[in-house]
A and B are shown apart, each in its own frame.
Chain A
Amino acid sequence: MAYQIVAACTNCWACQPLCPSEAIYPAAPHFLIDAKRCTECDGAYSEPQCAAICPIEAAIVDSQGVAVNPPGSLTGIPPERMAAARAEIGAR
C-alpha cells in the first residue's frame, strides 16, 4: 500500500516536508515516494498529506494507480475546456 508520484509532478517541494513517514525525496525528473516507507498517512492524518497539498492534478496516484486529484478537481478548469484550449493553441 503506497502512494506514488508520477510524471505530472512539477517538483514544487510542497509535499516533501509534510510526509510523516519521510517517504518523499527529490529525484530526476521528478519527486518520488519510497513505497517501502509510505503508510498512506494511516493513523497520522485523515488526508494523505502529499495529496492534500499537491497543486498539480494527477501528479499523485493511489495504490490502484488512480489519480488522487483528478483533472479539474484542483483548478476548477473543466477537462474538456483544457483539452480544447490545448488543441487550439497547438494548432497556431
Chain B
Amino acid sequence: MSDKVTQLQSEPEEGGCTKSGCGAGSEPLSHLPEAIRQKVHNHPCYSEQAHHHYARMHVAVAPACNIQCHYCNRKYDCANESRPGVVSELLTSQQAVKKVLAVAANIPQMTVLGVAGPGDPLANPERTLGTFRELAEKAPDIKLCLSTNGLALPKHVEEIAALNVDHVTITINCVDPDIGAQIYPWIFWNNRRVRGRKAAEILIEQQQRGLEMLVAKGVLVKVNSVMIPGVNDQHLKEVSKVVKAKGAFLHNVMPLIAEPEHGTFYGLMGQRSPNNAELQALQDACAGDMAMMRHCRQCRADAVGMLGEDRGAEFTLDKIETMEIDYAAAMERRAQVHAQIEATRSAQAAQVQQGGETLVPISILKRPKAEPPLRPLLVAVASEGMGLVNQHFGHAREFLVYEASTQGVRFIGARKADNYCDGGDSCGDGDAKWSAILKALEGCEVMLCSRIGMGPWEKLEAAGIEPNNEYPMEPIEAAVAAIYRQWQEAGRLHRAAAPRNALSA
C-alpha cells in the first residue's frame, strides 16, 4: 500500500485520481492524511473502495427548507422517483431512531446514517440534531453525517462538532453572487424572503464561513456541486480551488438532472443537463485540484442499502413497528461482519500488491516509441458489489464505467441505466429502457457482466458495444486490464478511428 501511495504522491501532475481504487490497493483518497483516511475508510459514500462493501442509509426527518434552488421542485414526490432529495415517508426523530436501529440490525454492513432532506437538515435543527443526539447514545458504532445548503450552518457548527458528527456535506454551486443569482431565486434569511443577487451573496457568505468553522473544529467537510451547463460549469473549477484551500477533503461534481416532467425551473425552461463526456471532462479538470468522488449515486433522501440499491421498502414504518431489535446483540454481529469485510479487503489489497493479475503491469503496456499511440478503452461493468464482475446484464440498474489506458485502469463513474426511475408500466416501455441503457453506455466499447441473454447480446453488438461474460466473479480491474491487453494484442487499440458508439458532443 505504501508503495502505491508514494507513487501517487510523486506524480502530482496526474492527481490522485488517475489510478482506480476499486478493489485495489489505493484510491483517490490515498493522498489524504492518515487520520482522515481512517475516518473515511469504511464510509461507502466517500471511499471508492468501501462503497463495494458497506451500506449507508438516509432518514427523511427534515422536511422544511430555507432556500429555493432552480433544480428542485418542492412539490414532487413520486414513488418511482429516485432523484436526490425526493422522499416518500417523513419520519419524526423517534421513528427515525427506531428505523436506524432496525436497519443496522438487519443489514450489518450499514456503517453510516445520513440526514439529507427532503428539505435542508439545518432548517430543521430540532429534528435533525435530535435524531443524532439519540443515536449517538443508542448506536455509538454508527457514523453520523449530514448534508446542507449551508445557509444555517454557522450557527449550528458548535453542536455538530459536539455531537461527533464526522462528515458534513455542503452543496456549493458557486462562489460568485452573479452566478448564484441564476441558481437561487430566493432564500429565507432573518425573517424575510430575500431575492436575487443579495440572496446569493448571503448564502455564499454563510457557506464559506460554515466550511471554515467546521474545518477549524476538525469536522470533515465534503463539497457537492451541481454542474449546470452554461451557468456554473466553467466556474466550478474556481469553486474547487477555493474549497480545497479552505480545507474541504473531497469535491463531488454531480450532473444537473433536468426534465420538464420534474416541474423544476430548469426542467421547464429548457436548461439542459450535461452529457457524460462533459461531466467527465469537468471532473478531470477539477481533479487536478483535489480528490473527486466519481461513484456518487445521487441518492434519494430516504435511501437504504448499498450505494446504487434502495431497500427502503423493507423498512417502512409499519414493518419496523413489528420488529424486535436487540441492539446490543446486533452491535456484536455488526462488529464481526465488519471484521470479515476488512479481512476480505486486506486480502484483495494484498493480491494487488503481489502484482498478480489485478493491475495492468504498466511496463508491458508501455508502447515502443515508434508505434502509433494506443487509445484508451472505456469498459462498462455490471456489478452487485464486492468489486467483482458479478451481475447479470438484465439485472443491472447502473453500470460502473472504467477507463483502461497505457496508464492503467481507473474508475470513471457510475451511470444509471434506469433514468432515475424504478420502472413500472407508467414509466416507459422496453424501448425507453433500452435507450436509457444505451445512453448510460455512451462511449463504452465493452460491456462486462457475469451473464447476458442472447437478445440483449445482439442488441448491444448492433449498437457497437461488445458484450463480454468471460470474467464472472473476477475482480473488476483484473478483468478490465485483461480485456485491454487482448485488444492491444489484437491491434485494436492502434486504430485511430473513433469507435462506433462514440461520445456525442
Give bound CA distance, A60 to B292, whole Å: 43
Check B65 against A52 for contact (C-beta < 8 Å).
no
Check A85 against B268 for contact (C-beta < 8 Å).
yes
Which residues of B sit under 8 angstroms from A77, Cβ to Cβ? 265, 268-269
The number of residue pairs between A and B whose CB atoms lie closer than 8 Å in the complex comes to 65
Give bound CA distance, A45 to B189, whole Å: 13
With A14-B65, A75-B265, A85-B268: A46-B192 Cβ-Cβ less than 8 Å: yes
Q: Does A82 contact B (CB under 8 A)?
A: yes
Give, as a whole number of angstroms, the nearest-CB distance from A18 to chain B.
8
Check A55 against B191 for contact (C-beta < 8 Å).
no
> Interface segment, B67-75, B213-221, B358-366, B480-488?
B67-75
With A55-B65, A75-B68, A88-B260: A47-B124 Cβ-Cβ less than 8 Å: no
Give bound CA distance, A77 to B119, whole Å: 20
Give bound CA distance, A15 to B216, whole Å: 33
Check B124 against A13 for contact (C-beta < 8 Å).
yes
Q: Does B123 contact A (CB under 8 A)?
A: yes
Residue of B with least CB distance to A41: B191
Check A14 against B260 for contact (C-beta < 8 Å).
no
Q: Indicate with 1 or 0, residue by residue over A6-50, a CB within 8 angstroms of chain B CB atoms.
A: 000011111001100000000000000000000000000111010
Residue of A with least CB distance to B67: A55
Find A47's partner among B65, B119, B191, B265 (CB 8 Å cutoff). B191
Q: Does B66 contact A (CB under 8 A)?
A: yes
Q: Which residues B64-100 have CB closer than 8 A to chain A?
A: 64-66, 68, 70, 73-75, 90
Q: Indicate with 1 or 0, residue by residue over B208-248, a CB within 8 angstroms of chain A CB atoms.
A: 00000000000000000000000000000000000000000
Give, as a whole number of angstroms, the nearest-CB distance from A45 to chain B.
5
With A11-B63, A12-B63: A53-B265 Cβ-Cβ less than 8 Å: no
Give, as a whole number of angstroms, the nearest-CB distance from B326 to chain A.
33
Give bound CA distance, A45 to B260, whole Å: 37
With A14-B64, A53-B66, A56-B75: A75-B192 Cβ-Cβ less than 8 Å: no
Find A45's partner among B119, B191, B263 (CB 8 Å cutoff). B191
Q: How large is the interface on B (under 10, 10 to 19, 20 to 34, 35 or more residues)?
A: 20 to 34
Check B268 against A81 for contact (C-beta < 8 Å).
yes
Check A13 against B191 for contact (C-beta < 8 Å).
no
Q: Does A74 contact B (CB under 8 A)?
A: yes
Q: Which residues B12-42 have CB closer than 8 A to chain A?
A: none
Check B260 against A89 for contact (C-beta < 8 Å).
yes
Find A85's partner among B119, B188, B260 (CB 8 Å cutoff). B260
Find A76's partner among B123, B263, B265 (CB 8 Å cutoff). B265
Q: Indicate with 1 or 0, residue by residue over B439-464, a CB within 8 angstroms of chain A CB atoms.
A: 00000000000000000000000000
Which residues of A sit under 8 angstroms from B186, Cβ to Cβ? 74
Check A55 against B74 for contact (C-beta < 8 Å).
yes
Q: Does B261 contact A (CB under 8 A)?
A: yes
Check B261 against A89 for contact (C-beta < 8 Å).
yes
Q: Does B385 contact A (CB under 8 A)?
A: no
Which residues of B sit under 8 angstroms from A74, Cβ to Cβ? 68, 185-186
With A12-B63, A14-B64, A74-B185: A52-B265 Cβ-Cβ less than 8 Å: no
Q: Does B333 contact A (CB under 8 A)?
A: no
Give bound CA distance, A14 to B68, whole Å: 13
Give bound CA distance, A55 to B269, whole Å: 19
Check B74 against A12 for contact (C-beta < 8 Å).
yes
Residue of B with least CB distance to A15: B64
Q: Which A residues have a C-beta under 8 Å from some C-beta of B?
A: 10-14, 17-18, 45-47, 49, 52-53, 55-56, 74-77, 81-82, 85, 88-89
Task: Name the 10 nearest CB pairs between A and B, nearest first.
Answer: A14-B64, A55-B74, A13-B63, A53-B188, A52-B193, A13-B64, A12-B63, A76-B185, A85-B260, A77-B268
Known A-B contacts: A11-B90, A13-B124. Give 8 more (CB < 8 A): A11-B63, A46-B191, A47-B192, A52-B191, A56-B74, A74-B185, A76-B185, A76-B265
- Listed A/B pairs (23) with beta-carbon separation below 8 Å: A10-B75, A11-B63, A13-B64, A14-B119, A46-B191, A46-B192, A47-B193, A52-B191, A52-B192, A53-B193, A55-B65, A55-B68, A56-B74, A74-B68, A75-B68, A75-B265, A76-B70, A77-B268, A77-B269, A81-B268, A81-B269, A85-B268, A89-B261
Q: Which B residues have a C-beta under 8 Å from some C-beta of A?
A: 63-66, 68, 70, 73-75, 90, 119, 123-124, 185-186, 188, 191-193, 260-261, 263, 265, 268-269
